[in-house]
Structure 1
Amino acid sequence: MNTIAEHIADFLKEYPPFDNLTFQELSEIASNIHVLNLEKNAILFQINDVLHDSFYVVASGTINLSTIADAEETILNKCHEGDVFGLRPFFAKNNYMMTAKAREESIIYAIPIAVFRPFVANNSNVLNFLLESFAVNSRHTKDTVSGSKQISDTGFYVDQQTEMQYIQSLSYNNSPLTADQNSIVKDVAQLMTNAMVDNVVVTEKKHPIGIVTEADLSSKIATGRYPITETIDKIMSSPVVTVIENVSLAEAQLLMLKHNVSHLCVTKDGTSKSVVKGIISEHDLIVAQASNPGVLIKEIKRAQLAKDLKQIRDRLSDLIQNSIQKNVPLSHITNIAGEINLAIIRRAVELSILDLGSPPARFAWLSTGSQGRKEQLLLTDQDSILIFEDVAPEKYRDVKDYFLRLAKRTSSILEKVGYSYCPNGHMGSNMLWCKSLTDWTKQYNSWMNTPGENSNDLSSIFFDYEIVFGEPKIEEALENVIFKNATNNTLFFDFLGNDALRKNSPLSFFKKLILEEEGPHKGKFDIKTRALMPLIDSARLLILSSNIKGIKNTYLRFKQLAITDSKNAEIYLSCAEAFLTLSKFRTIEGLKNDDSGEYVNIKEFSKIDREKLKNALQPMKDLEELIKSKFQLTQFS
């Protein structure tokens, strides 16, 4: 073996995924590698270039991966020594979606995909590494430092690694063309042409035994290897790779790569011993990638009108529905939906600024309530506050006037997207909730230090907030005011505690669900007021009193409390799970009836779901006792 290849193999074995291969395997790969010397600023490939037949490893130097949006180049990732990039040809057939450019003089190893593919098929560690790198393109060097914002090879932010891919639903052909093994090739080719498809599944007793694609016709018939009068079993590829009906994008990609095939056959139980239900092609994977969450966020950034944002929000609803049907963990779905909701609100603020001109002062737009907690899976109402920096007294009126106009415009865009106006007027477009930092500081001081006197306009949603747009230091200043006032503030916690416990118990003394007795929702269960709100309120109360900053989401609040207050961990963890179960029931109800899902119809529940619901309500009693003893609440005001 020549010394250059040996040197390359020595280098590769230090880095994943090559550290999973034997030296023998590495030597074989190394002897097929092309070494590229790139000058500073040389471009290896750029957006929309046709895919290369190799992927790349940085031997020395640095390669910048960048994308261009709105005529602006954004560097998504820097690849250093040992980093793998340019994996797109492994997973997709469309052109490159980013540009690779040498930041300095660099040496790159080009590894031909045809040479590398067999090692991938035999080694699941290598396969998983490549799939993850493609989805995330994270740094995988010897001294990997994780925790940075991660970016995928398709050019969008992904915090939860390949989680996006696992949520991704796949649409595919549910009525595939089938033929039996004795059909004549000419007739089958005619069928394919008439149906405008590029494949036919060969079946025996409705079970798949092979597949014929356009590629088979061109490589085996057009070349004259077989006559057109031959039976189809002679040219079919067999056996077929089969999958179950609700396979995810990531799993489908893995299987195609692993078996080096361009089609997967969907069967009733996922094996070749059951009925054919559909066919997934590489094209279906490319289409699925276009509706993934990262792509939605990119489209939001480009949207110019409320109706563009509405269309994206409708697609988010489909994504949520598909994810729930696939039993994707609700905490994952909430994470992704939360990011997309915030991106929509951010874009609404940006569009308003484009209309009104630059703001006269720095400000922060905060989403409050369920949007601030990133728990809004359904199209419920909008809640927000606007805080602007302190300005000279003579400027105050004009500045406030600008921000009120900005808030009204933003709220109006959001209303067109489908987030209805808050019935209680808790929005930045309301004079009361659009003011300077000093005025907000006074407001919170008054609410927290004399809560009884201000109980009419004190809404707990003002303690759940997330900055959507503007100056992070303003949000920080508000947080400091809240936590300073919270220290040893028994009066405030007494008020919040009683408020949390005032919501009526969801279960009667005899463990029966308490249903609505009158009105339009008679006979239904108010899952929001009786079940979710007590959990949301209690988590907020406990997190504020434990002086834990920065955690706004109810599920994560309970998880954090279980760590901080370990002797009550069991109660908190049960509450975290209960919150997810109840939220899921509410979301399913809301998607079904196209409403807020507040009232669920227990009569339509299966026996198992009824039990699940009752079990989710059990930890509330313990939580109530815990709060009573922690805050010594005896009277219920």
Structure 2
Amino acid sequence: MSNVIVNRVAEFLKRFPPFSFLGKEDLTRVAQSVEIQFLEKGEMLFRQGEAARPHFFILKEGLIQLVENSPKGEQIREVCDEGDVFGVLALLGKRPYVLTSKVIENSLIYAIPVAVFEKILEENSRVALFFAAGFAAGQVVVRQDLSQGQKARGEFKKDSGDHSLLIFSDQSAVIFSEKVVCCSPDTAIQSAAKEMAQAQVSSIVICDENKFPVGILTDKDLRTRVLAAGISPENPVSQVMTSPVITRNKQDGFSNLYLTMIRHRLHHLVLTEDGSDQSAVCGIISDHDVFLSMGNSPAVLIHALMNTLEVVEMRKIRDRAEQMLGYYLENEVSMEFVASVMTEINDVIIRQALEIVKDQLKAVYPEMMGIRFCFLSMGSEGRAEQLLRTDLDNAILYEDVAQNLKSRAVEYFQKLGEGVVEVLLACGFDPCPGKIMASNPEWVQPLTVWKSYFTEWILHPSPEALMKVSIFFDFRSVAGSKALAEELSAHIYQEIGKKQVFLNFLALNAMKNPPPLGFFRDFVLERSGENRDQFDIKLRAMLPLTDLARLLVLSHQIVGINNTFRRFEKLAELEPANAELFSQAGKAYEILMRMRALEGMQSKSNGRFIKPRSLGKLQRQLLKNAFVPISELQEIVNIRFQLDYFRR
């Protein structure tokens, strides 16, 4: 392979994990070993049940489906997109393929020899963790984002940062048993089985006089090597145990332990003091322990959500997601990443809720199944910033229907909205105090009505209209027809273009909240009510930043960026002179999000109200520093939108 081709292959691989984790030397070695294969539409790369080849694959161009052949017929399990790694079971287990790969479009793939990559797996923990997490999540395609769906890229692919390690790095400790049942090699099989039964374990470790492991016997061994083979239970365990026993050190870390189990196809892995079979047994890890250790990985949670339509189970999974959130907050993981993870989880819950309710309604409203609609999230969830299960802001937008279907459409989508909100409330989300939810008929409307809403708010920006604008302008399509949402967005910008003065009124609204600090640079606290002497971090600090970011992005006619810190990021590109200020504002907003989420986790609330006295000196200063960009941004807006003139 010429150097030019090797370089091109390396450049492509470097864009995708786990290859993005490799150093230049390792990446070049992999690129030199790659076999480039062209597959025509209709071909099969491998078939279900075939012995694994000595390669795994990454899709360079084209489209490949992974399908499962079952008594019910052929079912599509995955659709491979550019950069997806598949056929990976060959990498670790050398077991038969569990799916068939069908070439849907002419495709170009890179076949990577397992032999070349095995050494890298042993030496590079990040690569090992990437694959281990994928297997623990039950993935047949290993990709760089969290979604298990077809061609799921979205916001994750837009990120230049490397998040793949963080996705699966929530293993603060591997779960394993320290109470290991052991016996000597001359123990009778029946006696060993009784010890296993009494201890309610699925394995027993056979040790010598020094308590060093010489073998292991599992419940599977009892079935296949003793009962099925007709061996006398009076015989010693040494005759049927697996020996020599594979051992590891409990300090090795999750990825190394789990990869060892996959590579050797073990259901149990013995842990010793120094990792060898020449030291005492100190623990054992089972494949069940592995599952529990991976239980709060985003990939596992999303996979579980996508495979259940039981509301009770969905609630339990969302509760586990909150535990994961706590881990991320405590370990200072990037807030942009954390928000992306929690948004993906919330979005999957909404989509599953829609499936549940649509299935309930389809028999009664069969004619509605072909009507396009879009479920919109708004407010913090619309901005992809809802970390805690705070109040819901959502709506339904559906296409205009023929006159004879209008009443049926109103009934159907109203019931759909009510059903989805009911599921979300059952999953622990709070209802919107202002009833801006898809259960409210006012916010379940066809496209023409939604257009008229926004036209009215823009042409007649009353205080009430501006309040609604602050919620509804941040809508995001979560499920259904995105084309409808895009058409509504285009209408909004068209209307703003007709009445530019609307932005001045929006600017006035963005300035209505006073600075978070008083004259003596102390927090402005609530003066009365149940939250007296507490600081409203949402109203005083976060809302001004979201309002200012929205206003400035709208003034630049930027479509499709709802997230507050991404808005500031974009503004920094558009206005280099103010780039540093916008960058500070984005970082400030991340700090505020983190502090609110931490407060919510600690107080089991929505985190909106914080007691400044409960904060440490460093936390108080960090919070005050986050306020600095607010006043500077307000000064810019005051001048740019001539607000002194509008206040007269």
Shared fold by TM > 0.5?
yes
1:202-245, CA deviations, whole angstroms, 9 ceiling, x for partnerless residues?
A: 9xxxxxxx996675899xx9879xxx9xxxxx99979x4736xx
Who is 1:561 aligned against?
A: 571
Who is 2:66 aligned against?
A: 65
Alignment of 1:300 with 2:305, yes or no, is yes
1:511-552, CA deviations, whole angstroms, 9 ceiling, x for partnerless residues?
A: 111222222122221111111111111111111111110011
Of 466-475 and 109-118, the range deviating more from structure 2: 109-118
Who is 2:38 aligned against?
A: none
Distance 1:393 1:131 in 2: 55
Who is 1:422 aligned against?
A: 432
Who is 1:527 aligned against?
A: 537
Who is 1:551 aligned against?
A: 561
1:168 to 170, 174, 180: 170
Residue type at the aligned position of 1:479: S
Going from structure 1 to structure 2, the CA distance change for 1:23 and 1:236 (only over 3 Å counts) comes to closer
Who is 2:76 aligned against?
A: 74
Alignment of structure 1 residues 480-491 onto 2, 5 Å = 480-487=490-497, 489-491=499-501
Distance 1:462 1:151 in 2: 27
**Residue pair 1:13, 1:23 contacting (<8 A) in 2 also:** no
1:123-151, CA deviations, whole angstroms, 9 ceiling, x for partnerless residues?
A: 78986997799899989xxxxxxxx9968
Distance 1:459 1:150 in 2: 32
Residue type at the aligned position of 1:494: N
Shift of 1:605: 1.9
Q: Any gaps of 5 or more consecutive residues in structure 1?
A: 1-5, 31-38, 140-147, 203-209, 229-233, 268-275
SS at match of 2:454: helix
Alignment of 1:242 with 2:251, yes or no, is yes
Alignment of structure 1 residues 173-212 onto 2, 5 Å = 173=175, 176=178
2:350 to 345, 363, 387: 345
1:584 to 570, 575, 594: 594
**Residue pair 1:382, 1:421 contacting (<8 A) in 2 also:** yes
**Residue pair 1:97, 1:155 contacting (<8 A) in 2 also:** no
Distance 1:162 1:563 in 2: 26
Who is 1:625 aligned against?
A: 635
**Residue pair 1:77, 1:151 contacting (<8 A) in 2 also:** no
Of 279-288 and 384-393, the range deviating more from structure 2: 279-288
Who is 2:326 aligned against?
A: 321
1:614 to 620, 624, 637: 624
Going from structure 1 to structure 2, the CA distance change for 1:377 and 1:258 (only over 3 Å counts) comes to same
Who is 2:413 aligned against?
A: 403
Distance 1:318 1:43 in 2: 40
Alignment of 1:605 with 2:623, yes or no, is no
Who is 2:445 aligned against?
A: 435
Distance 1:616 1:493 in 2: 26
Distance 2:212 2:343 in 1: 44
Shift of 1:88: 3.3
Who is 1:333 aligned against?
A: 338
Distance 1:398 1:63 in 2: 40
Going from structure 1 to structure 2, the CA distance change for 1:602 and 1:469 (only over 3 Å counts) comes to same
SS at match of 2:351: helix
Going from structure 1 to structure 2, the CA distance change for 1:512 and 1:74 (only over 3 Å counts) comes to same
Distance 1:533 1:511 in 2: 20
Who is 1:273 aligned against?
A: none
Residue type at the aligned position of 2:76: T
Alignment of structure 1 residues 471-486 onto 2, 5 Å = 471-486=481-496
SS at match of 1:242: helix
SS at match of 1:613: helix
Who is 1:101 aligned against?
A: 101
Of 594-603 and 122-131, the range deviating more from structure 2: 122-131
SS at match of 1:74: strand
Who is 1:412 aligned against?
A: 422
Shift of 1:585: 0.8
Distance 2:425 2:572 in 1: 38
Alignment of 1:542 with 2:543, yes or no, is no
SS at match of 1:618: helix
Q: Any gaps of 5 or more consecutive residues in structure 2?
A: 14-18, 35-41, 158-162, 219-235, 275-280
Going from structure 1 to structure 2, the CA distance change for 1:196 and 1:54 (only over 3 Å counts) comes to farther
SS at match of 1:455: helix
Distance 1:185 1:479 in 2: 74
Who is 1:271 aligned against?
A: none
**Residue pair 1:157, 1:294 contacting (<8 A) in 2 also:** no
1:584-628, CA deviations, whole angstroms, 9 ceiling, x for partnerless residues?
A: 111111122222111122222222222211111121111111211
**Residue pair 1:365, 1:387 contacting (<8 A) in 2 also:** yes
Residue type at the aligned position of 1:597: G
The normalised TM-score by structure 1 is 0.73
The normalised TM-score by structure 2 is 0.72
Going from structure 1 to structure 2, the CA distance change for 1:547 and 1:362 (only over 3 Å counts) comes to same
Shift of 1:293: 2.4
Going from structure 1 to structure 2, the CA distance change for 1:408 and 1:277 (only over 3 Å counts) comes to farther
Shift of 1:359: 5.9
**Residue pair 2:167, 2:298 contacting (<8 A) in 1 also:** no
Distance 1:477 1:419 in 2: 29
Distance 1:613 1:263 in 2: 48
Distance 2:69 2:250 in 1: 38
Q: Please tell me the root mean square deviation across aligned C-alpha atoms, in Å.
A: 5.3
Identity %: 28
1:447-487, CA deviations, whole angstroms, 9 ceiling, x for partnerless residues?
A: 00110275387341110111122222210111011111222
1:540-597, CA deviations, whole angstroms, 9 ceiling, x for partnerless residues?
A: 1111111110011111111111111111111111111111111111111112222211
Going from structure 1 to structure 2, the CA distance change for 1:437 and 1:117 (only over 3 Å counts) comes to closer
**Residue pair 1:539, 1:558 contacting (<8 A) in 2 also:** yes
Distance 1:518 1:394 in 2: 54
Of 82-91 and 496-505, the range deviating more from structure 2: 82-91
Distance 2:509 2:541 in 1: 14
Going from structure 1 to structure 2, the CA distance change for 1:113 and 1:434 (only over 3 Å counts) comes to closer
Aligned residues: 575
2:372 to 350, 358, 362: 362
SS at match of 1:413: helix
